[in-house]
A and B are shown apart, each in its own frame.
Chain A
Amino acid sequence: MGEGRVGRGLTRRDFLGLSAGAGAGIVLAGCGGGPQNNPAVQGSGGDGGKTYDGPKVELAFWNGFTGGDGPIMRQLVEQFSSEHENIQVGMTTVEWPEYYQKVPVAVRSGKGPDVAIMHSDQLGTNAARGVIIALDDVAGSLGLKEADFAPVVWKAGIYNSNRYGIPLDVHPLAFYYNKSVMEEAGLDPNKPPQTGDDYMAALEELKGAGHQGHWVTPFPFTGTLSFESILWQNGGDLYNADATKATFNSDEGVEALTWLVDLVKKGYSPENVGDGAAGTAFENGKNIFHWDGVWTIAVWKEVEGLDWGIAPLPRIGSGTGFWAGSHNFVIMNQPSADPNKVQASKVFINWISEHSIDWADAGQIPARKTVRESSAFDELPQSPVAAQLDSAHFVPPVPGIGDVQPETFDIAVNEAVLLRKEPKAALDEAASRADQLLEENRQKYQA
């Protein structure tokens, strides 16, 4: 069958054309139905896809919100179901790492969700593997366009010039600080350091007061995320434009990693920080400047006696920049899809997107501009971070890109921060392996 076409990531139309073909069994195994049932092709939803008045349907909605964000999403889903008599949504939560293994299997066996959440960097892989379908027509019928979102976020959902995700939120890396300890150490708790020099001076101050101020974690969360952020601040990038070569071992990358390693060497961070220990230490007032995702806001809120603040990452490099992820709504490649369900899914996506101010209680920054610019959002702790949203950087949605990081610069950051290897040596080694993996991916997905 048409391997090349699927390899380049297929749009819904391509896919339907294919599925009518002889070899469809590979992707469609066990599924009935046919292309004529597909509402997207028919262009149903004459009202712009914002309402649904068909028979009662039940939607399966899957995501990986296992943290403090889970209950908030569940509540939103319940509210949606109570407001829509003919659409009932059942939510299933699976931890993210497992999620990306389970969803493709479920879709393949015809038991997948109708609508789901995926991170923007996973869209390319899942589009190329035929797990999710292009949503240009969904965005079109809902009247969603770039101007409704932050451009960086909107673009992160595009793979192979097709849209595969409707962005729900942005979750950047942010800078948390312990106000009471800063005050004790003679720092102004209302003026967190925002430049590299101020930051180092503040760490020195804290060190004088007996605090190791910035715990550097040798694990992806958030050691690697910190490395990526500073790399981008320095003007570097992880990969070249078409993601065929690794560039994270550039001078900008080495400088970024060296900065982190020096924090350990100069005693601003303890050695051998365990996975998750920096966050726990922040709760206990031992780690004072903590870099973590905005999704941890919900955690700090619950810690009694912790007087914390949040700011955008300090500018360590020559420019602003920080790592960010984005949760996107996706629709699964279910050839037997009931047109009513697809229409109901659109209504659901649009409704949650419009209500994403409630979702922001989980610490997330809503992707939708109207919500982000509302006065309700201004009052939330993450709003200062949102102000710099244009400096957010995303891992590009290239198929298989998610497999490169754990094998390469995650390991380099780990070994350098644990002082086992020099930053440059670690990054060079990782980069040559990354080149191999990128080449392998390119062949595999025939991009």
Chain B
Amino acid sequence: MATQQAEQPRAGASPPPGKQPQGAKRERRDFIGASPVTPYLFMAPYLVLFFTFVLAPVVYGFWISLHEWDYLLPGKPFVGLQNYVELFTPGSVTSGPFWKSMEATGKFTLYSAPLLVLVPLGVALILNRKFPGRTFFRAVYFAPYVLGVAVVAVLWRFLLDPNIGLVNYYLGRLGLPDGIPWTTAVPWVWVTLVGVTVWWTLGFNAVIYLAGLQDIPRELYDAASVDGANAWQRFLHVTIPGLRPVLLFVVTVTILASANMFGQSYLITNGGPGDDTRTAIYYIAETGLRQFNMGSASAMSFMLALFLILISIVNFAFFRQRED
């Protein structure tokens, strides 16, 4: 966007008023010295993928959400916006569980996202220093991320079992309470789900931060030191501004990832106690893929997507504002 705007006045300096856009276009074409379709051809491979695997499924998904849709039943009656209306009708089959699952997703995101933004930043700052064994520790912090969710979840479900788990056993040995219901009662289930997720994924964000930190020119720190800035001031006025684009990326990706949490609660808490930790994706998967009510499930997916789009917009607006 920015480059395009800068280019236009320059290219179209002389043409008569009113014909400016056309002139600008011609000039640019001359500049590139190729047919007008060239840029589109360059983009074509990606566009093909985008249309096939993103846009078409989205449109198809919306079409599905307007029906009672079980892909194996011959009758797929068109119901208009009924699936959406039901989500907003108290007492309907889907509305209660859906909003409860949205609440669970919201809670998890609220608890986990701040930790997943801050803890990896701390880890990255430490790992960015020079000390013996640095590479080893970088690998250590990243290691859990390579594990699949099934491995992580089964591992922690055993470790955190309220009655026969290792964690409670050692807590007991240390004279601490040894009956903490890590996987069966609120609020402990949230501590478990958030803790496991932070342990599992902090390495990813830390690596992104590390790359960002190494992009900040050394001279800025030197200059700040010369001006008498202490470590905290250097962090606040050099590191944080230098990391701003990286922060935007990390915050956005982390919120989206947290809002899509499914495997941990599916495998560690079974969505329980009751259905307190059944997240939106969990409920959508059950509705669409287990009960084969794909129309309702698609409508729910669109509602969830709408929320995530809104959050992302706020997020972008917040970071853009601070750029000025």
Contacts and interface: CB of A to CB of B under 8 A. Distances in A.
Interface of A: 1-3, 6-7, 23, 26-27, 97, 100-101, 104, 108, 128-131, 215, 218-219, 270-275, 277, 280-281, 284, 286, 400, 403, 406-407, 411, 414-415, 418, 420-421, 436-437, 440, 444-446
Given A271-B181, A272-B179, A437-B93, A418 B164 contact: no
Interface string B156-197: 010001111100000000000001010111000000000000
Contacts of B164: 274, 277, 280-281, 284, 286
Interface in B252-296: 270, 272-275, 286, 289-293
A26 B93 CA distance: 28
A101 B272 CA distance: 22
B157 A275 contact: yes
A277 B165 CA distance: 9
B23 interface: no
B16 interface: no
Contacts of B183: 272, 274-275
A401 to B, nearest CB: 11
A100 B181 CA distance: 32
Nearest to B296: A440
Nearest to B289: A101
Contacts of A131: 72
Contacts of B286: 406-407
Contacts of A281: 163-164
**What are the 6 A-B residue pairs with the smallest beta carbon separation, nearest first?**
A3-B75, A272-B181, A274-B161, A272-B162, A129-B72, A272-B184
A420 B163 contact: no
Contacts of A445: 73
Given A6-B73, A272-B179, A407 B163 contact: no
B184 A23 contact: no
A76 to B, nearest CB: 29
B97 interface: yes
B71 interface: yes
B185 A272 contact: yes
Contacts of B103: none
30 contacts: A3-B75, A6-B74, A7-B73, A97-B290, A100-B290, A129-B72, A129-B73, A130-B74, A131-B72, A215-B163, A218-B184, A218-B272, A218-B273, A219-B270, A271-B181, A272-B185, A277-B162, A281-B163, A286-B164, A411-B275, A414-B273, A414-B274, A418-B184, A418-B185, A418-B273, A436-B93, A440-B293, A444-B70, A445-B73, A446-B75
Contacts of A272: 162-163, 179, 181, 183-185
A95 to B, nearest CB: 11
A278 B164 CA distance: 9
A273 B289 CA distance: 29
B178 to A, nearest CB: 11
Identify the interface centre among B157, B164, B293: most chain A CB within 10 Å of its CB: B164
B74 A273 contact: no
B274 A415 contact: yes
Contacts of B291: 400, 403
Nearest to A270: B163
A284 B72 CA distance: 46
Contacts of A101: 289-290
Contacts of A108: 71-72
B192 to A, nearest CB: 11
Nearest to A25: B74
Contact of A420 (B68, B162, B274): B274
B161 A407 contact: no
A445 B75 CA distance: 9
Contacts of A403: 290-291
B184 A7 contact: no
B295 to A, nearest CB: 10
B157 A274 contact: yes
A280 B72 CA distance: 40
Nearest to A215: B163
Interface in B63-111: 68, 70-75, 93, 97
Identify the interface centre among B75, B97, B157, B274: most chain A CB within 10 Å of its CB: B274
Given A272-B184, A275-B270, A418-B184, A26 B68 contact: no
B190 to A, nearest CB: 15
A286 B161 CA distance: 15
A97 B266 CA distance: 12
A101 B285 CA distance: 11
Nearest to B269: A275
A306 B133 CA distance: 47
Identify the interface centre among B74, B184, B290: most chain A CB within 10 Å of its CB: B74
B272 A414 contact: yes
Given A273-B163, A274-B162, A277-B164, 16 more contacts: A3-B73, A6-B74, A23-B74, A101-B289, A108-B71, A129-B292, A130-B73, A270-B162, A271-B181, A272-B183, A274-B157, A275-B157, A275-B270, A284-B164, A411-B275, A414-B272
A244 B192 CA distance: 39
B184 A27 contact: no
B181 to A, nearest CB: 4
B42 to A, nearest CB: 35
A440 B93 contact: yes
Given A274-B163, A286-B164, A420-B274, A407 B72 contact: no
A103 to B, nearest CB: 11
B267 to A, nearest CB: 9
A403 B93 CA distance: 13
A271 to B, nearest CB: 7
B260 to A, nearest CB: 19
A411 B274 contact: yes
A281 B158 CA distance: 12
A111 to B, nearest CB: 15
A397 B291 CA distance: 15
Nearest to B165: A274
Nearest to B268: A275
Contacts of A440: 93, 293
Contact of B161 (A6, A277, A400): A277
Nearest to B274: A415
B64 to A, nearest CB: 15
Interface string B116-137: 0000000000000000000000
B163 A27 contact: no
